[in-house]
């Protein structure tokens, strides 16, 4: 078959009127024609007849009826979850492996994601627990001295869905206005938009025990400290405190920071009896972060109640909320929660402002707490309770993450305060 040709003609008209300013003499441009041709057979053979770029092959359907078309990466299929936005500029791998995101699609407000790839050192748990990742722009290349794998390959290996080339700013504005929304992410063309919308409206994250799905199944000892190349604020003395950490979805860096401050740590499952913990004669107990609704895990609240007043305790995030309920207070679901590494918090005892890493959709109502419980920290964005203390029972807690990872280290002093509280109680015994 004869090849068909296409031609592009470029002609410069009225060349006599074109002159270079400040030239010693008028400079004329010659009229020229540029003709380009290509064979349709060649175009078909090389795939140029089709679009050489990835086209939209995924849909994010929100319970409010909005449909967002995007391009997929990572795993394929259909997944339901609660959509939340995270304002961190870096640290997407730590976010991916934070168990507190179980059941949620994490939308990154920072538009460019994936440029540093992934590595094995930055993981905060043994697997990815989130439902999916939503980003604006997926980096086509990686550049980092620790990179071992691309973000797309990493998610595919762990069966986590991701989408990109979607208007994350518009979705974020919608979430801020209407609150967190349930959504369905799908790459399956056979599913109609009506079916996906019905899925989003028939599922709810409230009242679901998500902790049991992320907690360890048996006790284990933790010994790893913060690596020397990243070490800071570590204790120089050799005094050791035995700490039992309840795993409600604990991040590895919480354990690293405790170990760096000289703690010998035993991690126990979320359902581990309080009586067994007290038999270990710990110097202190830590109640960790974790996903979901604290009211959906009454067994954890009862465990906390049995331990209060017997040993010093420190609650982080979910642990903070469980402590609030155990003390007689109530918790409530926030409009869109706090997710990011740049949330300002005021320490009411010192007046200092800390930039903190946060990840939670629930908060403690300070008006519901009994007399004697002190609100120690306040979130400066919305005034919500960010920290509690009950000196009479040696209790302290934070609604945010003092271990950061990702995020700033402003609040790392909280681990030192926990150490000092254990030391003081030990001296008084």
The HSE-up count of residue 125 (CA atoms within 13 Å, CB side) is 23
Q: For residues 101 and 416, what is the distance between their CA atoms, to the nearest angstrom? A: 27
In the annotation, is 149 catalytic? no
In the annotation, is 409 catalytic? no
Torsion 301-303-307-312 (CA) sign: negative
Q: For residues 292 and 206, what is the distance between their CA atoms, to the nearest angstrom? A: 7
Positions of E strands within 174-329: 181-186, 220-222, 241-247, 263-269, 284-287, 313-316
DSSP 349-409: TT--EEEEEEEEEEEE-GGGSPTT-EEEEEETTT--EEEEEEGGGTEEEESSBTT-SSS--
Radius of gyration of the chain (CA): 28
Q: For residues 312 and 422, what is the distance between their CA atoms, to the nearest angstrom? A: 6
* Both tokens assigned to 260: 């760096």
Q: Indicate the SS3 state at residue 3.
A: coil
Q: Indicate the SS3 state at residue 259.
A: helix
Phi-psi category of residue 50: left, alpha or beta, with phi > 0 → left and psi -120 to 50 → alpha: beta
Candidate list 128, 263, 317, 385, residue with the active-site label: 317
Q: For residues 35 and 75, what is the distance between their CA atoms, to the nearest angstrom? A: 45
Q: Indicate the SS3 state at residue 336.
A: strand
DSSP 19-88: --TT-SS--PPPP--------HHHHHHHTTTS-SS----EEEEETTS-EEEEEEEEB-SEEEEEEEEE--
Residues with Cβ within 8 Å of residue 327, at least 6 apart in sequence: 308, 369, 370, 373, 388, 390, 395
Q: Indicate the SS3 state at residue 173.
A: helix
Query: Which residues are 377's β-sheet partners?
Result: 347, 387
φ, ψ at 340 (rounded to 5°): 155, 175
Query: Which residues are 268's β-sheet partners?
Result: 246
In the annotation, is 252 catalytic? no
* Both tokens assigned to 170: 């518009």
Nearest Cα residue to 75 out of 87, 90, 57: 57
Candidate list 63, 82, 354, 403, residue with the active-site label: 403
Are 323 and 290 contacting, i.e. CB atoms less than 8 angstroms apart?
A: no
Catalytic residue ranges: 317, 401, 403
């Amino acid at each position: 078959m004869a090849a068909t040709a296409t031609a592009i003609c470029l002609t410069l008209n009225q060349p006599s009127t074109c002159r270079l300013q400040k030239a010693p003499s008028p400079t004329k441009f010659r009229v020229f024609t540029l003709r380009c041709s290509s064979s349709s057979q060649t175009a078909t053979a090389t795939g140029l007849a089709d679009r050489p770029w990835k086209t939209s092959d995924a849909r994010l359907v929100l319970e409010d009826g909005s449909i967002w078309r995007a391009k997929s990466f990572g795993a394929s299929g259909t997944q339901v979850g609660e959509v939340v936005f995270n304002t961190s500029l870096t640290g997407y791998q730590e976010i991916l492996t934070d168990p507190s995101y179980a059941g949620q699609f994490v939308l990154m407000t920072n538009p460019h994601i994936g440029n540093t790839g992934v590595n094995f050192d930055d993981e905060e748990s043994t697997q990815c627990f989130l439902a999916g990742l939503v980003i604006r722009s997926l980096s086509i290349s990686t550049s980092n001295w620790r990179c071992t794998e691309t973000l797309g390959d990493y998610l595919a290996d762990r069966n986590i869905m991701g989408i990109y080339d979607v208007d994350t700013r518009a979705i974020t504005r919608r979430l801020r206005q209407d609150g967190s929304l349930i959504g369905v992410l799908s790459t399956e063309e056979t599913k109609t938009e009506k079916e996906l919308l019905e899925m989003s409206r028939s599922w709810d994250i409230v009242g679901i025990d998500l902790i049991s799905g992320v907690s360890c199944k048996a006790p284990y000892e933790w010994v790893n400290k913060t690596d020397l190349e990243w070490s800071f604020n570590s204790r120089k003395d050799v005094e050791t405190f035995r700490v039992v950490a309840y795993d409600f979805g604990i991040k590895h860096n919480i354990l690293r920071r405790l170990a760096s401050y000289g703690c010998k740590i035993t991690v126990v499952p979320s359902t581990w009896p309080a009586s067994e913990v007290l038999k270990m004669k710990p110097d202190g107990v830590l109640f960790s972060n974790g996903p979901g609704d604290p009211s959906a895990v009454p067994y954890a609240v009862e465990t906390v109640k049995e331990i209060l007043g017997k040993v010093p305790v420190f609650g982080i995030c979910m642990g903070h909320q469980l402590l609030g309920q155990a003390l007689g207070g109530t918790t409530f679901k926030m409009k869109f929660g706090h997710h990011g590494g740049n949330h300002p918090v005021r320490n009411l005892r010192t007046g200092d402002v800390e930039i903190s890493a946060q990840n939670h959709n629930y908060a403690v109502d300070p008006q519901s707490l009994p007399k004697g419980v002190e609100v120690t920290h306040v979130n400066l964005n919305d005034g919500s309770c960010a920290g509690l203390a009950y000196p009479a029972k040696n209790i302290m807690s934070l609604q945010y993450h003092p271990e950061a990872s990702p995020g700033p280290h402003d609040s790392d002093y909280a681990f030192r305060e926990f150490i000092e509280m254990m030391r003081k109680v030990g001296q008084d015994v």
